[in-house]
Structure 1
Amino acid sequence: MSPFIELPVSASVKTLMGVYTRKQNPSVFAPVADELPAGSRISVQATVVGDAVQGNPHWYRIDEDTFVWSGACTRIEPCPTFPPYTKVKWTAVVFEVR
């Protein structure tokens, strides 16, 4: 069970694009566990609130400590709804490269 806010589910989704799975955290900064090609079928154990990618903070936990960003996958139907107090507020930061 992850230490992150999550809702247990039992579902199967398919990747819509090539995507990295991440170890330990639902974060783009977490170590890469694996690379899945588009069309990969994966089993989901929970939906998790993590780093927002393109404004979407939802990830799928696919193993004890392995996560994949939900935006790279088909949706779980019916889609679980997180309580309002778990919504992530984030601010985009843009760094200028010179």
Structure 2
Amino acid sequence: MEEIGVGGGVGGGGGGYWWWSAASTAQLALGIKSYRKGFSGDSRFMPLKAFSVASLFVGATASAAVAFLHSSGIHSVEDIKQVGANIRNGLRIPPRAQDK
């Protein structure tokens, strides 16, 4: 039986997570547009507007990171540990000692 993931896609791979990339692109575009527009209006709202623009950039970064991880086939911490072990093996660095 095929399992439906959090992103709605069936199985693994990046096919079911394309909207993470779309969200990242949209947030980044809106953040750049808001940043270029600058500040206009009542000065009391300046901190709120600055926070919202910064949140767009942070959200775009988070969405891009999720899209990259899922399209790379990394879905859990164990997958990340395996990638780290493969990198260490490729660099001929001995494995880390395991605490038991």
**Between structures 1 and 2, the one with greater strand share:** 1
Which protein is bigger by CA-based radius of gyration? 2
Give the TM interval when normalised to the shorter protein: under 0.3
> TM-score by structure 2 length?
0.19
> TM-score by structure 1 length?
0.19
